[in-house]
């Protein structure tokens, strides 16, 4: 059924390894529902949890047009979901780096990487960058330390 899903369904489910939440958070998009508009930074609340109320339905998502953006995903081979996925953008909302597949609380922004890229939006700016393994997933597919090491590597690749 994966080929029948919708972006709204993926966002509402907020699977911790889904790709769409990283794009929405990484671009600073706005989620429109039948009742209100919710900024991406306020929408994702935790694993499988969002700001949606009972009976609230996602009707649209609006994205600001970035100056630059990129996505890299390290797939878990069996499911093809992200073991780690990183969406990087530079646009009206500044530099944003969103990570999926690795946070114990679901999709999140990597503020340390954002700060490095704000001064120089280049892969070179991330040379030697690290991400703390604290609060990252650790399972049979990869330790928290492994995921932490992948995040800056994938962010640099997303920039090109």
- CATH class of the structural domain 2-159: alpha beta
∠ at Cα 97 (110, 146), nearest 5°?
Answer: 55
How far apart are alpha carbons 144 and 123 in whole angstroms? 23
What is the per-residue pLDDT for 1? 44
What is the per-residue pLDDT for 125? 98
How far apart are alpha carbons 107 and 126 in whole angstroms? 20
The series of mean pLDDT values per 10 residues for the chain, 160 residues long, is 73 92 97 98 96 96 97 89 94 95 92 97 97 94 95 97
The ranges assigned to domains in the chain are: 2-159
- State the DSSP code for 45: E
Q: Residue 97 pairs with which residues in a beta bridge?
A: 88
What is the per-residue pLDDT for 5? 67
Contact status, residue 142 vs residue 151, Cβ threshold 8 Å: no
Helix, strand, or coil here: 25? helix
Residue written as token pair 């780096």: 97
Q: Residue 100 pairs with which residues in a beta bridge?
A: 85
């Amino acid at each position: 059924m994966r080929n029948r899903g919708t972006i709204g369904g993926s966002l509402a489910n907020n699977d911790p390894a889904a790709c769409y939440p990283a794009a929405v958070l990484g671009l600073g998009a706005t989620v429109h529902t039948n009742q209100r508009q919710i900024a991406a930074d306020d929408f994702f609340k935790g694993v499988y949890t969002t700001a949606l109320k009972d009976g609230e339905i996602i009707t649209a998502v609006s994205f600001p047009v970035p100056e630059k953006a990129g996505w890299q995903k390290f797939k878990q081979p069996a499911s093809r979901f992200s073991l780690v996925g990183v969406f990087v953008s530079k646009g009206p909302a500044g530099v944003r780096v969103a990570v999926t597949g690795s946070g114990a609380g679901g999709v999140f922004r990597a503020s340390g990487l954002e700060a490095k890229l704000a001064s120089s939006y280049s892969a070179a700016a991330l040379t030697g960058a690290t991400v703390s393994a604290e609060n990252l997933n650790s399972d049979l597919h990869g330790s928290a330390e492994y995921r932490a090491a992948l995040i800056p590597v994938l962010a640099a690749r997303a920039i090109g």
